[in-house]
Amino acid sequence: MFPNKLSELKIIANRLKTYYETNAAYVFVLFCSVYIFKQTFAIPGSLVMVSIFYLFLSRFALF
């Protein structure tokens, strides 16, 4: 499941980018659901989630 080589990571990143381009609304809802779940049960890591969300927004020029 987790990549062991840089080439495997690039393949996964390319697939995720393609999936995001075709299903942006689904990815956004999924991200929001995970964020709310983490906040509900006070699981640390929200800063990481916000950082990832900001990178998605800035990368795909939604700002």
DSSP string, the chain: ---SSHHHHHHHHHHHHHHHHH-HHHHHHHHHHHHHHHHHTT-S-HHHHHHHHHHHHHHTT--
Do the domain assignments include residue 46? yes
Do the domain assignments include residue 54? yes
Do the domain assignments include residue 40? yes
Q: What is the pTM of this model?
A: 0.49
Kindly tell me if the per-residue pLDDT of 26 is higher than 70. yes
Give percent of the chain with pLDDT exceeding 90: 0
How many structural domains does the chain have?
Answer: 1
Do the domain assignments include residue 1? no
Residue 38's domain comprises 6-59
pLDDT, one tens digit per residue, over 31-55 is: 888 878 877 766 566 667 777 777 7
Do the domain assignments include residue 50? yes
Per-residue pLDDT at 53: 76
